[in-house]
Amino acid sequence: MGFVLHTLPFLAILISWINAEQVVLLDTTAEEVMLDWTRYPYGPLSSTPGWVEESFTNFQKGINWRSYVVCDVAYNNANNWLWTPFIDRGDANRIYIEIKFTIRDCSLFPGNALSCKETFSLLYYEFDAATREPPPWDAERYKLIGRIAAGEGRFNSNSEVNINTEVKSIPVTKRGVYIAFRDQGACISLLAIKVYYITCPEVTINFARFPATPTGKEITIIEQAQGTCVDNAEVVGGAPIYLCKGDGKWTLPTGGCKCKSGFQPDLEKQTCNLCQPGTYKSEVGDGPCLACPKHSQGQDYGLSECRCNQGYYRAPTDPKNMSCTQPPSAPLNLTVNFVDQSTVFLTWQPPENQGGRNDTVYRLRCDACSGGLVQYNPSTETFNETRIQISGLNAVTTYRFQVFAENGVSHLSLRPNAEYANIVVTTEASVVSSISNIKVTSVKSTEITLEWDAPITDGDLESDQVETYEVRWFPRNEEYSNSTSFLITTLKATITGLQQRTEYGFQVRAKTPRGWGAWSPVIFHTTGQVLNPAFVGPQEGFRLQLVAGAIVVIVVVLVAVIVLTVVFVRSRSNDECNKKQPSDCDTLEYRNGEVTTPLFTGISGSSRTYIDPHTYEDPNQAVREFAREIDAKCITIEAIIGGGEFGDVCKGKLKMNGAEIDVAIKTLKAGSLDKSRNDFLTEASIMGQFEHPNVIFLQGVVTKSNPVMIITEYMENGSLDTFLRANDGKFKVIQLVGMLRGIASGMQYLSEMNYVHRDLAARNVLVNSELVCKIADFGLSREIESATEGAYTTRGGKIPVRWTAPEAIAFRKFTSASDVWSMGIVCWEVMSYGERPYWNWSNQDVIKSIEKGYRLPAPMDCPEAIYQLMLDCWQKERTHRPSFQSIVKTLDKLIRVPDTLRKIAQNRSANPLSADAPDLTQFTSVEEWLNSIKMTRYLENFHAGGINSMDAVVNLTVKELTELGITLVGHQKKIMNSVQNIRAQIRVNGNEGFLV
Bridge-partner residues for 485, per DSSP? 472
Q: Is 524 annotated as a binding residue?
A: no
Strands (DSSP E) found in 331-386 = 332-339, 344-349, 361-366, 375-377, 382-383
Measured distance between the N- and C-terminal CA atoms of the chain, rounded to whole angstroms: 38
Residue 591, H or E segment:
strand 590-591
| Alpha carbons 750 and 774: distance in angstroms, whole number | 12
- 969, 728 Cβ separation under 8 angstroms: yes
**What region, left, alpha or beta, does residue 506 occupy, with left being phi > 0 and alpha being psi -120 to 50 degrees?**
beta
Range 361-365, long-range pairs (CB < 8 A, 24+ positions): 361/405, 361/406, 361/407, 362/331, 362/386, 362/388, 362/403, 362/404, 362/405, 362/406, 363/403, 363/404, 363/406, 363/418, 364/388, 364/390, 364/401, 364/402, 364/403, 364/404, 365/401, 365/402, 365/404, 365/420
| Alpha carbons 321 and 279: distance in angstroms, whole number | 11
Q: Is 642 annotated as a binding residue?
A: yes
Q: 884-896 and 733-752 helices cross at what angle (nearest 10)?
A: 150
| Alpha carbons 782 and 784: distance in angstroms, whole number | 6
DSSP conformation class of 899:
G
| Alpha carbons 798 and 186: distance in angstroms, whole number | 53
Q: Is 645 annotated as a binding residue?
A: yes
Q: Is 311 annotated as a binding residue?
A: no
Residue 163 C-alpha from the chain's centroid? 51
| Alpha carbons 720 and 738: distance in angstroms, whole number | 13
Looking only at the bridges linking them, the beta strands covering 143-149 and 87-88 are unpaired
SS3 at position 176: strand
Residue 865, H or E segment:
helix 864-873
Q: Is 666 annotated as a binding residue?
A: yes
Residue 526 C-alpha from the chain's centroid? 59
- 430, 442 Cβ separation under 8 angstroms: no
Radius of gyration of the chain (CA): 45
Half-sphere exposure at residue 61, Cβ-oriented, CA atoms within 13 angstroms:
6
| Alpha carbons 623 and 616: distance in angstroms, whole number | 10
Q: Is 644 annotated as a binding residue?
A: yes
- Burial grade of 594 (CB within 10 A; 0-12, 13-18, 19 or more): exposed
Residue 740 C-alpha from the chain's centroid? 8
Per-state percent for the chain, helix, strand, coil, to nearest 5: 25, 30, 45
> Minimal CA–CA distance to 342: which of 474, 515, 478?
515
Q: Is 688 annotated as a binding residue?
A: no
> Minimal CA–CA distance to 596: which of 811, 792, 807?
811
Q: Is 262 annotated as a binding residue?
A: no
Q: Is 355 annotated as a binding residue?
A: no
User: What stretches of 478-606 show up as alpha helix (H) in DSSP?
Assistant: 538-579
- 434, 455 Cβ separation under 8 angstroms: yes
Residue 453 catalytic?
no
Q: Is 648 annotated as a binding residue?
A: yes
- 396, 479 Cβ separation under 8 angstroms: no
Catalytic residue among 759, 845, 872, 899: 759
One-letter identity of residue 132: R
Residue 116 C-alpha from the chain's centroid? 61
Report CA dihedral (569, 572, 578, 583) to the nearest 10 degrees: -50
Maximum C-alpha span of the chain: 159
Binding-site residue ranges for ATP: 641-649, 666
Which residues make up each annotated binding site? 641-649, 666
Q: Which residues are catalytic?
A: 759
